[in-house]
Structure formats: structure tokens, C-alpha cells
Amino acid sequence: MKMTLVVDTDDIQGLESSHKMITTLCQQYDARVVSRGMDKRFSKIAFIKALRGYMKAQQDAVESEDIKFEDMRSLRGAKQFADAIWNGWTP
């Protein structure tokens, strides 16, 4: 996709709109743009691997009696796993 954007620097509202457009395009299509920690993007395979990793971690915790079977659905376990992904762990 190619696009030419002409910006009139005397038009502040137009300048802000142009900035919004470019920012949106960069976030959606430029892999070099670093996430600000609010969004993570996964391929379907990576997402499936993450789910499998979570299920295995929960099953191992039950088998080693770290948690009870009834607590497998706890919010705490899911949050800890999500934090691990957000902090850079990749499946």
C-alpha cells in the first residue's frame, strides 16, 4: 500500500488529523512500532501454544498439589500467566 499525505502546517486541526492517520497506520501495519504494553498481537498458532502452556501449568500445579483442582479456574492463576506473557514470555 502506498499513500501520499500532504500536510498544511497552517491548519492545526488538519495536522492533528494527519498525525492520527499516520499513527493508526503505523500501529496496524508497521512491525517496527513497539507496543506501549496495552496490546499484544499473536498469530493463531502462538495463541494456541499459549493456551496449551497455561493448561499444562495448571495441570502440573494440581498434580504437584500446589493448588486444588477446584482452584484451577481461579483468576489469580490466569493473571499470573497473562503477566508472564505481557512481560515478554513467548510460547
Q: pLDDT of 75-88, one tens digit each?
A: 887 888 888 877 77
Q: Do 29 and 48 have their domain in common?
A: no
Q: Do 49 and 81 have their domain in common?
A: yes
Task: Say how far apart CA 91 and CA 76 lie, in whole Å.
Answer: 20
Please compute the mean of the pLDDT values over residues 57-64 and round it to a whole number.
Answer: 88
Cell of 73: 479456574
Count of the separate structural domains present in the chain: 2
Residue 76 lies in a domain: yes
Q: Do 49 and 79 have their domain in common?
A: yes
Residue 39 lies in a domain: no
Mention every residue, 6+ apart, whose C-beta is less than 8 A from residue 7. 14, 15, 18
Q: Which region among 8-12, 52-56, 60-64 has the lowest average model confidence (pLDDT)?
A: 8-12
pTM higher than the cut 0.75 = no
Q: Do 52 and 81 have their domain in common?
A: yes
| Domain of 77, in residue numbers | 44-86
Judged on CB neighbours under 10 Å (0-12, 13-18, 19+), 45 is exposed
**Largest pairwise CA distance in the chain:** 67
Give the mean pLDDT of the chain: 79
Please compute the mean of the pLDDT values over residues 13-41 and round it to a whole number.
Answer: 74
Residue 91 lies in a domain: no
